Amino acid sequence: MSDMNLPDLIAVARGDRPADLLLKNAGIINVFTSSIEKSSVAVYGNRIAGIGDYTDAAEIIDLRGAFLSPGFINGHIHIESSMLHPANYARTVVPHGTTSISTDLHEITNVSGMAGIRFVLHCARDLPLDFFFQAASCVPATHMETSGASITASDIRRLLKWKNNIGLGEMMNYPGVINAFPPVIDEIYAARDHVIAGHAPGLRGKQLNAYVSAGIYSDHENSELEESREKLSRGLFLMIREGTSEKNLEDLIRLVTDKTWHRCMFVVDDRSCSDLLRDGDVDAVVRKAIGLGLDPIRAIQLVTLNPAEYFRLHDLGRIAPGSRANLVTIKNLEKLDIDMVFYNGNLAAKGGRYLGSTVVKTPARLMKSVNYKPFKPSALELISKNDHFPVIEIVPGQIITKKQMVKIGRGEFQPDTARDLLKAVVVERHKATGNIGLGIVRGFGLKQGAIASTIAHDSHNIVVVGAGDKDILAAIEAVRDMQGGLVVCRDGKPIARLPLPICGLLSTEPAEKVSTQFEYLERVAAGLGKLPPAPFALLSFIALPVIPELRLTDKGIVDVVRFKLLTVV
């Protein structure tokens, strides 16, 4: 409690000194006893001094029976997926009750390395939102792609000593863990005394045992009920995810029982600015869980006490003497109708309106990150060696894909919109290597045109899906001209775009403007065919070679199950 005069805090707790803030007549959500306690909360500085019949304070707010909750903790979030500058991200999520987040920043780190981490943490210093970060463990995620930077075990040792670090970020290279690859093991050794987050899609049996034995604490890649049940039984904290393109809550909520709830938490992982504005942040997951029948107090425990205990943040996620005064008032518990949000004892939002300042500054070196080697149109020709070709099949509502062997014939592949067989392209954009990965994808439903993005997890090269090379090439060039972003092309020219000039990931504009542009972009894209929901979110995961079954990187087609590049073109 170096940020607090402890004798004064104790004096307020005894009732011998006035509080700075008194929240009286509150229905306090007691996350320890799973009950509602009708009382008042005295705050001194940034700490809760006590709970009880306090009456004297510099400021008194009568809650008139409204509920008082600990501030919400989003235990696994990639803020880059919001496409918002950190200041605008805080402006968007704080009114929804989020007062703390855990992020490993591996998206911006893959593009710009330590400079990206410093940029976000520098922005966070003046925001009413805790940015707890985990050292990015997989930069790049695998050897089968090209990223803009690399983080070594030595770098991780340095990052673990930084202020607000709470551990090692999701260990996505699960084959590297299971097979004890030396660089991966070195990173785990570096973080052995810290919380190590997991990433274990589909792991069962002995492979799961091998992964957990390395000291992994949690997993958010949970989509199937029995797989998730097994992970709980092997000691992993279960992060139940409900994001923009990853929706697992309805399938997994039945695992939250009186016997298991203390090992579960709700997270969003990736959530677009539009979803944040329309539905909310982790509060939207709590609200949906309540709608699915989960007790409201239990749902709140999964975004307060549980993530705080998991991350060893013992002064957060609770309303108790000595804890940080991050608090949320709720008018209607069943609807989770949020009114006031307090951060460190100060009012940060009220009635959905953010009360903090929004200063958007970005180092110039992070604004020029699209640097690919010029190429001729012939570089986009996909020549198949065999009659049958491995096709990436999209699974709507999930980020996993399926591998399908489809008959296309030998020679140059031409997109077949009748069979929904489209060309996918990944262009390396960090080091001008000239790498271009070519593949075939099914599930985007394009009848014409192309869509492209520099949000391409996790190395964030340029990823494109299109019905013809003319539009694919136009989309790549449009992304270069914007120095990053999302684009829709038709008839060889861009017809809608969203610039993301900060590392090709983030906008400098407010959430409302970014959301308007993004939603227009999706409407225009929808006019190119019968596209699935959240097509740009799905597009962003085409190049992620640590999620089964088939992916495409700048180095080629990746069979994730076999963890190898395929030589088929």
* Structure confidence by residue, pLDDT tens digits, 290-328: 999 999 999 999 999 999 999 999 999 999 999 999 999
Say whether pLDDT at 4 is over 80.
no
From 555, 546, 286, select the one nearest 434 (Cα to Cα): 555
Q: Please give the helix or strand (H or E) that residue 465 lies within, else none.
A: strand 462-466
Q: In what order do the strands lie in the sheet with 450-453?
A: 401-407, 388-394, 436-442, 422-427, 462-466, 450-453, 485-490, 493-499
Say whether pLDDT at 2 is over 90.
no
Contact 405, 388 (CB under 8 A): yes
**How many other CB atoms are found less than 10 A from the CB of residue 55?**
12
User: pLDDT tens digits, residue range 499-524?
Assistant: 999 999 999 999 999 999 999 999 99
Q: Please give the helix or strand (H or E) that residue 74 lies within, else none.
A: strand 72-74
Say whether pLDDT at 34 is over 60.
yes
pLDDT at 3: 58
- Is the N-terminal amide bond of 140 cis, ω within 30° of 0? yes
Domains contained in the chain, CATH given: 71-317 (3.20.20.140), 366-566 (no CATH)
- Look up residue 309 and give its two tokens: 């205990």
Distance CA 544, CA 196 (A): 21
- Is the N-terminal amide bond of 226 cis, ω within 30° of 0? no
The C-alpha torsion from 187 through 190 and 192 to 198, rounded to 10°, is -30
Contact 286, 266 (CB under 8 A): yes
Cα–Cα distances (Å) from 119 to 242, 436, 462, 464, 483, in that order, read 27, 30, 23, 28, 18
Q: Please give the helix or strand (H or E) that residue 403 lies within, else none.
A: strand 401-407
Phi, psi (rounded to 5 degrees) for 544: -95, 100
Contact 486, 453 (CB under 8 A): yes
From 275, 270, 224, select the one nearest 250 (Cα to Cα): 224
- Look up residue 473 and give its two tokens: 């090439």
Please identify which residue in the block is written with the tokens 């997994």: 252
pLDDT band at 213 (very low <50, low <70, confident <90, very high): very high
| Strand ranges in 315-400 using DSSP code E only, listed in sequence order | 327-330, 338-343, 346-350, 353-354, 383-384, 388-394
Say whether pLDDT at 568 is over 90.
no
Average pLDDT over every residue of 136-156: 91
- Look up residue 243 and give its two tokens: 């994001």
Contact 83, 359 (CB under 8 A): no
Please identify which residue in the block is written with the tokens 């190049």: 543
Cα–Cα distances (Å) from 342 to 9, 54, 66, 263, 317, in that order, read 18, 19, 14, 27, 13
- What mean pLDDT value characterizes the chain? 95
**How many other CB atoms are found less than 10 A from the CB of residue 117?**
23
- List 565's β-bridge partners, or say none: 558
From 19, 67, 69, 27, select the one nearest 47 (Cα to Cα): 19
Average pLDDT over every residue of 449-459: 95
Phi, psi (rounded to 5 degrees) for 121: -65, -35
Write down the pTM of the prediction: 0.91
Residue 507 DSSP code: B
Helix (H, G, I), strand (E, B) or coil at 356: coil
Helix (H, G, I), strand (E, B) or coil at 130: strand
User: pLDDT tens digits, residue range 78-121?
Assistant: 999 999 999 999 999 999 999 999 999 999 999 999 999 999 99
Say whether pLDDT at 245 is over 80.
no
**539, amino acid identity:** L
- Look up residue 503 and give its two tokens: 């590392």
- Look up residue 216 and give its two tokens: 């992994």
